[in-house]
Structure 1
Amino acid sequence: MKEHLIVLDLDGTLLTDEKVISNLTKDTLLKAKQAGHQVMIATGRPYRASQLYYNELGLTTPIVNFNGALIHHPKNPMWKTIHTTVDLHVVHDVVESIHKYEYENLIAEVMDDVYIHREDDGMLEMFHMGSPNILLGNLTQTLLQNPTSLLVHADDANTPIIRKHLQDVHAELIEHRRWGAPFPIIEIVRKGLSKAVGIDHIAKEMGIPRDRIIAFGDEDNDLEMIEYAGVGVAMNNGISELKNIANEITLSNNEDGIAKFLQERLKL
């Protein structure tokens, strides 16, 4: 069988709800690699919070982090890193403009530096993975360089209100997507970025055409990736919007959905 590129979202997709890779899914992915297929990760997480799983699977491929804002190769320093940031003045405008809405916190990330707007034990716990540098304080005063991404933590009731505001006021400059776990989060990156942009760049470097890309996802930030892939697969636990555009729907992240699909599709 010809070489395929298998693209994996992490939370709600590759990882179970306990944030681990099941034994069956891991074994199946290792078999796929042994059969000559390529396996890569595309996630909204920074690399420091995805490195554990990258290493667990023994990957040697580039990775997409921050939903396409960072495209790099952890194993090959000669591979050109693409890091696309949000203009600082745009971030400050967004911060000022959403104060009239109810939200829990704001977080900006500059690679492995994390800026948290309000002191928040839950956020500190969420961002501890990989031991980043964490700075607390008003982002308009502490954030002095273009960030990789800006995160808005808001509850489920206020998230759509804030997203509508972002679309109405800032649509020409930013993209915004929703995470479902571990908190409801709106992630903001530069306009034009998505996981699909990163995957397209990597696939072309590898010489693998779109019709041989199999991508798995579950959330709002996977929409472009699932639509782009030759075979876009939604997890059964995924949002309805993703299932509606996916080529296939597999079992949930807690039911080895990735493994079962690949075993059948790639004859593993």
Structure 2
Amino acid sequence: MSNKHLIVLDLDGTLLTEDKKITQATKQVLHQAMREGHEVAIATGRPYRMSMQYYQELGLRSPIVNYNGALSHHPYDTSFEKHHITIPLEQAHHIIETCYSLDMPNILVEIEDHIYSSITGIENTDHTFFSLHAHEIHTGDLLQLIKDHPTSILVQFHDHHNWDEIQKTFINRHSHIVHHRKWNEPFQVVEVLRQGVDKAVGVERIARYYDIPKERIIAFGDEDNDMGMLQYVGKGVAMGNAIEALKSVADDITDHNDHDGVANYLKKHLKLQS
């Protein structure tokens, strides 16, 4: 297929509606795109264990980007080499100590699908959601528990915390090796990843796997963690519900995630019939 495209989909706020579903209309259009020879892939901040259900629901057989680019792998083809960008163990310990010093003791460390939590009562925290489908959950003193390089570190904060102080401290102490971002509501969470991690890194590897040039990659997103990906690809599309900063760098803007924005754009751009 001479005009084969790679279609890359963020999950939350993009492919998924607000109630975390893929609409039938969107599913039909994506299936039509695949029947016509285009490739469809997911690039999400979620770990694989929490994106697998949507991957399987769409019947994908493509590589997937997880943890905002910290991990990319192919669930079915081992010739696609797994790419795992981790936080150095020593630095992870320093970050944990920083969180303790800022009175943020509720910390969750992910090493792929293994979860390490600083507290035992995770059912009463934001971490309940993030620990779903984990291979193992370990709780206790993270400085003793963590023996390998983490994929990501999630830290819960509360209304009484000073976000400016948190941000300044992280930048001063750790910006040479990691970057951090604050999640939007309803989660009061700081996500920490290795410096240089970006969805675009994983998307580039998928494009090479399929031998699809950058100008024939279409990527959809809605949040700041989609910024690098949308700027990298040939056609970066912001959802109608996307943040303004993303819309300002996108090549196109489509409809809201609750109004089949992905499907509507692909039908028009690739001349698909659902």
CA shift in 2, pair 1:20/1:159, >3 Å: farther
1:141 maps to a residue whose letter is Q
Consecutive unaligned residues of structure 1, counting only runs of 5 or more, are none
Sequence identity, in percent? 45
Residue 133 of structure 2 corresponds to: 130
Deviates more, 1:204-213 or 1:38-47: 204-213
Contact 2:109/2:150 (<8 A) preserved: yes
Residue 71 of structure 1 corresponds to: 72
Consecutive unaligned residues of structure 2, counting only runs of 5 or more, are none
Residue 110 of structure 2 corresponds to: 109
Shift of 1:108: 0.6
Q: How does 1:167-178 map to 2 (within 5 A)?
A: 167-178=171-182
CA shift in 2, pair 1:257/1:104, >3 Å: farther
CA shift in 2, pair 1:25/1:241, >3 Å: same
Give the Cα–Cα distance (whole angstroms) in 2 for the partners of residues 200 and 178 of structure 1.
Answer: 25
1:152 maps to a residue whose letter is V
Give the Cα–Cα distance (whole angstroms) in 1 for the partners of residues 19 and 241 of structure 2.
Answer: 14
Q: How does 1:117-196 map to 2 (within 5 A)?
A: 117-118=118-119, 119-121=121-123, 122-155=125-158, 158-159=162-163, 161-180=165-184, 183-196=187-200
Q: What is the TM-score with the length of structure 1 in the denominator?
A: 0.93
Contact 2:115/2:131 (<8 A) preserved: no
Shift of 1:43: 0.8
Residue 13 of structure 1 corresponds to: 14
Secondary structure of 2:259's aligned partner: coil
Shift of 1:267: 0.7
Contact 1:92/1:140 (<8 A) preserved: yes
Give the Cα–Cα distance (whole angstroms) in 1 for the partners of residues 110 and 71 of structure 2.
Answer: 12
Secondary structure of 2:258's aligned partner: coil
Q: What is the TM-score with the length of structure 2 in the denominator?
A: 0.91
Give the Cα–Cα distance (whole angstroms) in 2 for the partners of residues 241 and 178 of structure 1.
Answer: 15
Give the Cα–Cα distance (whole angstroms) in 2 for the partners of residues 155 and 115 of structure 1.
Answer: 20
Residue 221 of structure 2 corresponds to: 217
Paired positions, count? 268
Contact 1:179/1:219 (<8 A) preserved: no
Give the Cα–Cα distance (whole angstroms) in 1 for the partners of residues 256 and 102 of structure 2.
Answer: 34
Give the Cα–Cα distance (whole angstroms) in 1 for the partners of residues 235 and 105 of structure 2.
Answer: 37
C-alpha distance after superposition, 1:209-242 (max 9, x if no partner): 1111111111121111111111111112221211
C-alpha distance after superposition, 1:182-215 (max 9, x if no partner): 5133221212111001111111221111111111
Shift of 1:178: 3.6
Residue 263 of structure 1 corresponds to: 267
Shift of 1:9: 0.6
Contact 1:179/1:187 (<8 A) preserved: yes
Deviates more, 1:4-13 or 1:128-137: 128-137
Give me the CA root mean square deviation.
1.9
Matched, 1:244 2:245: no
Give the Cα–Cα distance (whole angstroms) in 1 for the partners of residues 163 and 79 of structure 2.
Answer: 40
